[in-house]
């Protein structure tokens, strides 16, 4: 289990909330600590939205609690009824995320009446509000999330896994069951990629120049993810049509291997070029002088079909046709790679000094 940044920030937020509550001599500082837990979010923008929603929920809970105590007292059944009302209001206002804190506010205000009730209620409300604001301060100041670094590293890691399996599979060295299990794991990783991309997209820039650069980066990263998914789709089809590939002629199998090795090589070079590890030159090359262009590869495949129509036995005649989805996936992967390189070249031409991405990540945010 990794000690994530969000775990650390939650601990810091609780300490800050309790410290400020004690410093201001607020009674029951524990409510500030409890409130701090609910406002911690993985991004600063989400933290801002959460704070706004938690404040509204806290306000709803406080108003209902005060009204019910003034009208009906604080009997345990009255507290239960107030909680039901608060839950209903929060759901009607689509404030599900603030629901728990609203309930905490109701109980905190209604559980006891000490001296001037309105003053007591205001103090409890302020205590919980202090906890919410403490979390926002911690989110803003401590360990600010670097989702671009996280996103690039995750893309890089999942592509390396895909490359490994493609290389093994095209050399007929993969274990069928193990590859099937890893394909399922890679699918889950791609879903997490989308979540990380959403968090990176939510990060706000405060200067127009940075905003323009961020918009271009979003386009590049979206294409990176699309290209990675095409590589994953290619791997799935290699796995699915493993038997059909083995029935094809030796020269066809060799060409498939060369074609995919070339695409993987290009993909690796493009990712390295984005972080400045290699020069800004074209990564689209002929792998060992033996890979084919998309049109040549398609022509080669149809040539193989014609050959097999004359030489194959009747039960093998449909084998090349069944491989059409694989050929399509390889060509689409090639197209997406070419588009990705164009986007990166364009980005680096206009924003050469604004593309510093660390490839190492010490703290994992969860």
The per-residue pLDDT for range 11-45, each reduced to its tens digit, is: 888 999 999 988 988 888 888 888 888 877 777 77
CA distance 172 to 250: 12
> CB within 8 A of 257, min separation 6: which ones?
170, 171
Tell me what the pLDDT averaged over the chain comes to: 82
Share of the chain above pLDDT 70, in %: 84
Q: For the chain, what are the domain ranges?
A: 5-141, 147-350
Angstrom distance (rounded) from CA 191 to CA 184: 11
pLDDT digits (tens, 9 = 90+) for 305-361: 777 665 555 555 567 778 888 999 999 999 999 999 999 988 887 766 555 555 554
- Which stretch of 78-82, 86-90, 160-164, 277-281 has the lowest confidence by average pLDDT? 277-281
Please state which CATH number belongs to domain 147-350: 1.20.58.220
Cβ proximity of 331 and 323 under 8 Å? no
pLDDT at 47 over 50: yes
Least confident of 155-169, 186-200, 204-218, 348-362: 348-362
Best CA proximity match to 360, nearest among 193, 164, 152: 152
pTM for this predicted structure: 0.72
């Amino acid at each position: 289990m990794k000690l994530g940044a969000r775990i650390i920030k939650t601990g810091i937020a609780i300490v800050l909330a309790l410290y400020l509550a004690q410093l201001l001599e607020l009674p029951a500082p524990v409510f500030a600590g409890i409130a701090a837990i609910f406002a911690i979010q993985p991004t600063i923008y989400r933290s801002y939205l959460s704070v706004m929603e938690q404040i509204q929920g806290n306000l709803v809970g406080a108003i209902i609690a005060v009204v019910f105590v003034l009208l009906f007292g604080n009997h345990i059944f009255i507290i239960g009824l107030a909680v039901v009302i608060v839950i209903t209001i929060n759901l009607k206002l689509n404030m599900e995320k603030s629901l728990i804190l609203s309930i905490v506010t109701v109980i905190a205000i209604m559980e006891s009446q000490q001296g001037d009730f309105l003053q007591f209620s205001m103090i409890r409300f302020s205590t919980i509000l202090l906890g919410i604001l403490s979390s926002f301060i911690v989110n803003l100041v401590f360990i600010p999330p670097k989702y671009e670094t996280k996103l690039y590293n995750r893309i890089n890691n999942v592509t390396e896994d895909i490359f490994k399996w493609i290389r093994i599979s095209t050399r007929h060295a993969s274990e069928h069951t193990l590859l099937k299990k890893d394909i399922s794991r890679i699918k889950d990783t791609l879903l997490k990629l989308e979540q990380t991309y959403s968090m990176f997209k939510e990060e706000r820039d405060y200067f127009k120049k940075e905003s323009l650069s961020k918009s271009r980066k979003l386009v590049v990263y979206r294409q990176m993810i699309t290209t990675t998914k095409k590589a994953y789709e290619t791997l799935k089809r290699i796995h699915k049509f493993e038997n059909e590939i083995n029935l094809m002629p030796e020269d066809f199998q060799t060409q498939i291997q060369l074609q995919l090795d070339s695409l993987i090589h290009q993909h690796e070079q493009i990712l390295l070029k984005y972080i400045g590890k290699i020069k800004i030159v074209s990564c689209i090359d002929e792998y060992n002088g033996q890979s084919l262009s998309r049109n040549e590869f398609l022509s080669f495949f149809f040539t193989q079909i014609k050959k097999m129509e004359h030489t194959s036995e009747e039960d093998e005649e449909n084998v090349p046709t069944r491989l059409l989805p694989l050929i399509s996936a390889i060509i689409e992967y090639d197209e997406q790679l070419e588009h990705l390189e164009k986007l990166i070249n364009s980005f680096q031409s206009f924003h050469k000094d604004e593309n510093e991405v660390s490839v190492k990540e010490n703290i994992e945010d969860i």
